[in-house]
Chains A and B, each alone.
Chain A
Amino acid sequence: MAEGIADEELPAWSLDRAAAAAKPQRSVWPLGDARAWAWGGATGAGVRVCVLDSGVDAGHPQVGPIQGAVAVAPGDDGELAVVPDADGDAYGHGTACAAIIRKLAPDCELHSARVLGGELTGTGPVLLRGLRWAIEQRFDVINLSLSTTKSRFAPELRELTDRAYFGGTILVASAHNMPVASFPWRFSSVLSVGSHAGSDPLEYYVHPDPPVEFVAPGVNLELAWLGGSTIRATGNSFAAPHMAGIAALVMSKHGRLRPFELKTALRAAGTNVSTAA
């Protein structure tokens, strides 16, 4: 029904592929084949990735064994604590994200930190507690397909994302799917991701107009879901783990990179980037 919506009317969180191709980006790095250099032959081996979401169903055939699962829950003292989690996935969403990462980087370590589902009803304090824990674990990559609209949490989120940045953890955050102010995807210390409508998991574009920095597949994707099932779904939530998986590949090949180094490598290898543009 919405065929008449012009590209320029689309919100910042998405980017039409034709529009992206029409705005080629220039790379100053003299790489003949940036993609081959960035992740050619890589499998994700040696890279630790954490999915902060609704949990992960490790029994799903598209995910396979995961190396750790925790949940944020109220402790005996009433304070939020991070505890071992055997409940799997509350909704299916975290499993979908984990399967995307596993598909792109099959040999990476996958960990789940559940911050949604069950008694966890909000994206504020629980998200902050889970994110703080994940940063303390010094994961190489954290996938955060969530955000909060509550501005009172923004200062602490900014402090946490800065800590991740300086600690060498790349935090991949999905842009909000609606035109609202939310965090932390707008922070420059994270790698922010919106959607395009392509289906090649390695097809991603450098967004010419940040704060969204990259756009990856997020439209009508076949995804792992609850109980070993699959669904087809659309959302920036699913674009972010594509970039998390690609980030894992790059780190697998080049070692633990600083976030600015990783962003530079990813930019150079973007589908709409060339040295000649």
Chain B
Amino acid sequence: MLADENGRRALLQGIVELTRAVFAAKACSIMSHDAAAHELVFEAVAGEGAGTLVGRRIPATTGLAGWSLASEEPIAISDVGSDPRFAREVAEQTDFVPTRMSVHPLLYGERSLGVLSVLDQCAGQPVGLADMNVLARIATHAGAVLAIVQAVREAESVLADGGELASIERVLASAPAPQREAALALLAALERLLSE
């Protein structure tokens, strides 16, 4: 399922479809953070905007999603209509202006990978502590799935370019176990060094 992009999208789509159904929401989306472009990218959308938003990008500092991504904290708004900036941004992307919105960061390990947004949820009822708790659990799961999807994409990208890293991967695949283990330890150390 992870071997092709359609399968990866289906994994993420399943999460937003389920979340939308659980919370009786009009829409639900997962956006990933493209750190290089400093943008949020719609990865999966259920309900309003499902046919048009996937692949679209917005600045990573945009509104509640931007705050949740940067602060790594969730927030639930019961009346976004009075936030003029939020309403304008949404209207530009969809024709749908929600009145309630919950945004949870998608965290995996120590990384903030994107956000999960739920629009007009709970059939008009305010979001309570228990709802936040359930959404937190879904977002925790979604964060793990997004991390896997992104790792597979990165691996695919590395292998596709046919460069030195791809050569190393080919050598590693056929290396005896002791050499392979030592090489992987070296690569792990290199990753830590470069990510400091």
Question: Which residues on A are within 8 Å of B, measured CB to CB?
Answer: 1-3, 5, 9-11, 14, 16, 54, 90-93, 116-118, 120-123, 145-152, 174, 176-180, 182, 195-197, 219-220, 225-227, 229-237
Can you show 28 pairs from A to B with CB atoms below 8 A apart?
Answer: A1-B22, A2-B134, A5-B134, A14-B129, A54-B67, A54-B71, A91-B66, A116-B71, A117-B61, A122-B70, A145-B73, A148-B72, A149-B72, A149-B110, A151-B110, A178-B104, A179-B140, A180-B107, A220-B78, A226-B84, A227-B84, A227-B85, A231-B77, A231-B78, A231-B82, A231-B83, A232-B78, A234-B132
A235 lies within 8 A of B74 (CB): yes
Min Cβ gap B97→A in Å is: 14
- Complex partner residue of B133 from A14, A93, A122, A150, CB under 8 angstroms: A14
B67 lies within 8 A of A177 (CB): no
The stretch among B49-57, B120-128, B159-167, B179-187 that forms the contact with chain A is: B120-128
Min Cβ gap A192→B in Å is: 14
B82 lies within 8 A of A230 (CB): yes
A177 to B72, CA, bound (A): 9
- Complex partner residue of B130 from A5, A117, A196, A235, CB under 8 angstroms: A5
Question: Which residues on B are within 8 Å of A, measured CB to CB?
Answer: 22-24, 38, 60-61, 63-64, 66-67, 70-80, 82-85, 104-105, 107, 109-110, 112, 122, 126-134, 136-137, 139-140
B139 lies within 8 A of A178 (CB): yes
A197 lies within 8 A of B63 (CB): no
B133 lies within 8 A of A121 (CB): no
A123 to B139, CA, bound (A): 19
Report B-chain residues with C-beta under 8 Å of the C-beta of A237: 71, 73, 75
Report A-chain residues with C-beta under 8 Å of the C-beta of B72: 123, 147-149, 176, 182
A178 to B107, CA, bound (A): 10
**A232 with B70: in contact, given A1-B122, A226-B84 (CB under 8 Å)?**
no
Residue of A178, A227, A231, A232 ringed by the most chain B CB atoms within 10 A: A178
A179 lies within 8 A of B136 (CB): yes
Report B-chain residues with C-beta under 8 Å of the C-beta of A195: 129
Min Cβ gap A144→B in Å is: 11
Min Cβ gap A271→B in Å is: 17
Report B-chain residues with C-beta under 8 Å of the C-beta of A220: 78, 126-128
A25 to B137, CA, bound (A): 30
B130 lies within 8 A of A3 (CB): yes
A117 to B60, CA, bound (A): 10
Report A-chain residues with C-beta under 8 Å of the C-beta of B122: 1
A174 to B71, CA, bound (A): 12
Min Cβ gap A27→B in Å is: 26
Min Cβ gap A57→B in Å is: 12
User: What 8 A-B pairs come out closest when comparing CB atoms?
Assistant: A232-B78, A2-B130, A234-B76, A5-B130, A91-B67, A220-B126, A178-B136, A229-B82
A234 lies within 8 A of B127 (CB): yes
Min Cβ gap B140→A in Å is: 7
A14 lies within 8 A of B110 (CB): no
List the B residue with the shortest CB-CB distance to A238: B75
Report B-chain residues with C-beta under 8 Å of the C-beta of A233: 75-78
A121 lies within 8 A of B140 (CB): no
List the A residue with the shortest CB-CB distance to B195: A152
A178 to B135, CA, bound (A): 9
Report B-chain residues with C-beta under 8 Å of the C-beta of A11: 133, 136
**A226 with B134: in contact, given A16-B129, A93-B67, A123-B70 (CB under 8 Å)?**
no
Min Cβ gap A230→B in Å is: 6
Report A-chain residues with C-beta under 8 Å of the C-beta of B84: 226-227, 229
B75 lies within 8 A of A2 (CB): no
A177 lies within 8 A of B130 (CB): no
B79 lies within 8 A of A232 (CB): yes
List the B residue with the shortest CB-CB distance to A120: B70
A268 to B136, CA, bound (A): 32
Given contacts A2-B130, A116-B71, A118-B61, 19 further A-B contacts (CB under 8 A): A1-B122, A1-B134, A3-B130, A90-B61, A91-B63, A93-B75, A121-B70, A122-B70, A123-B71, A146-B73, A151-B110, A152-B110, A178-B74, A179-B136, A229-B83, A231-B78, A231-B82, A231-B83, A234-B75
